[in-house]
Structures are given as structure tokens and as C-alpha cells.
Structure 1
């Protein structure tokens, strides 16, 4: 019995079928939680040290690192029963969609800082930190996560096997 199955077995019956039906979403959420902590840790480590004058750059770097971890965890756990594409093609799609996600994750922080001027000297350091966290770690995360969930299921890890020509190895092993 897998760890997920043992957790599902402890859920009260009325909710168990709902959890089983949305198992993939729950796994995606767990991966998201793990990468949220990676993203947040790197973001603040950079923002409060070597990249203090460049919070958007700090955010982009943090999201990129979290995205690499996310690909591995999603490929091997959340969506392991989906796909069927060649790994190179799948990884390319994943990182293109994640690149769009980086823009979506970073846009609210950029708006907060450079459009609304929620930064020192225009506001206090406390307001700046609250605005950065709200824009970068909450709003950006929710917008980016919703987009990535939809796009990953539609294009990167589709439910049906994509049509593809058999590889040389497939043709040889079919003989």
C-alpha cells in the first residue's frame, strides 16, 4: 500500500471518494506546497541579502529553482500515470508553460513594486514586506498555480496517449 493509499484509507468515507476522484489534484497540491517553501526560502534569502535592490530578479530565480524541483516531482509522482510523450518533448513543454508561469507569478510583485510603488521610500519597510509577500507569494502563486494545473493537464501530461510515430527502437522490438 502506498503512502497516499494509507492516507486515503484514514479519510472518513463521505470524503474518501471525493479525495480518490481528485487524487491527482491533491498530489499536485502537495508538490505545490513543497515548492512553495523552496520558492519562499530562496526568494527571501536572495531578497534580504545579495539581491536586496532587485526583488523581482530574486522572485524569478526562486521560481526557476522551484520549477525544476516541481517538474521532477510532478513527472514522477503527480502525473506519473499520464503522458506518454518522449521526455525531451514533455520537458520542453513543461518548461515553456512554466516560463509563462514565471511571468504570471512575478507580475503581481512587479505591479506592487513599480506601479503601486509599495516600496521604500514611498512606504514603510513593514508595508513593503507585507505587499511583497501578498503580491509575490500569495496572488502570484494562485494565478500561476491555476494556469499551470490547467496547462499541464491539457498539454504536458494529457490523459490520452498522444499520436506519435514509433521510434526506431519501437519498430525493432515489434519485429
Structure 2
């Protein structure tokens, strides 16, 4: 039972961290969506480009703006030791996301025959949603890798008569606090 109680705060902390990450990912992604849809609309209406070409141009521009948001805001604490590797993976996974989005648009236009500008925008929304889920999982898992957590130092019992170091004092203080917490939890139950 103690193991379960001790693991709950850790799980709650992870979920809070993931929630914050999802919100920030959504903010960066939303700015990319605005760029994506604006460029797409200009390309199909203003420039008269075909829908797939417009989608690719819009997505490439949005990918560039999103990278800046992800690297310098959302994942700024993540390992950036190898930018070449990071950018390569980012472009590969963004390209796969673009293929997902463009594939949905192509199926809508060429297989279903829904080719009005509003139907294309609807297909773009569906494709973008599917591509976003893929991008979120791939970016956080492979592109912007988390820094490894520091291993806690093992507690060493001081020998009788040996001088105590600052780390040992801190560890002893932490153990006393934990023991006091356990007593207060036991009284509350």
C-alpha cells in the first residue's frame, strides 16, 4: 500500500506535466494552423494553385514556423546537443504528418469528388487533426528528447564518530521529514 501511495504523487506530477505540454503544443500548433490555413486560402483563391500544391506550400511554411515555437518555447529545456539530428528528425516526422494531411485532402478531392473550397478546407481540418496527433507523439518521443533524470545518490550511513558532510546532513533531514509525513498520514487514516 505504501508503494501505491508513494507512486501517486509521481503519476499526478507526470499528468500535470503532460497536460502543460499538451497545452503549449496546442498553442504552437494553433499558430501553425493559422499560418497553414491562411497560406492555403491565399494559394487556392489568390494564386489559383491546385489544392494539393496549395496544401504542400502551406504546410511547409507552417512547419518552419512551428519548429521555432517548439524548439525555443515548448521544448527549450530538452536536449539540444545535436541540432542536425533534431532538425532532420523534425523534418522527417513533419513530412509524414504532411503526407497524412495531404492524403486526406487528396482522397476527399479525387476519390469523393468534394472539390469546393469549403469542402477542401473541411478535409484539411480532418487531415490536420490526424497529422497533429502523429506529430505530437513523434516530436516528444524522438525529436525533442527529454534530458535524462539525474540518479539520486545512494544514502550512506555515517560511521560513528566520523564527521558529517553537508550532503549527509541534508539526507538525514529529508529522512526525518519523510518519517514525520508518514506519521501524519497514518494519523489521518
Taking structure 1 as the reference length, what is the TM-score of the superposition? 0.72
2:121 to 106, 120, 133: 133
Counterpart secondary structure, 1:22? helix
Structure 1 segment 21-170 matched on structure 2, within 5 A: 21-52=18-49, 54-119=50-115, 128-136=116-124, 138-161=125-148
Q: Over alpha carbons, which structure has the higher Rg?
A: 2
Return the offset for 1:149. Answer: 0.2
Structure 1's consecutive aligned runs of 4 or more residues displaced over 6 angstroms after TM superposition are: none
Q: CA RMSD in A?
A: 1.7
CA distance in 2, matches of 1:85, 1:51: 43
> Which 5+ residue runs of structure 2 have no aligned equivalent?
1-13, 149-189
CA distance in 2, matches of 1:92, 1:100: 12
Counterpart secondary structure, 1:48? helix
Return the offset for 1:20. Answer: 5.3
CA distance in 2, matches of 1:129, 1:34: 22
> Which 5+ residue runs of structure 1 have no aligned equivalent?
1-16, 120-127, 162-175
Counterpart position of 1:171? none
CA distance in 2, matches of 1:26, 1:32: 10
Return the offset for 1:84. Answer: 3.3
Instruction: Specify which structure has the bigger relative contact order, considering alpha-carbon pairs within 8 angstroms and separated by 6 or more residues.
Output: 1
Taking structure 2 as the reference length, what is the TM-score of the superposition? 0.67
Aligned residues: 135
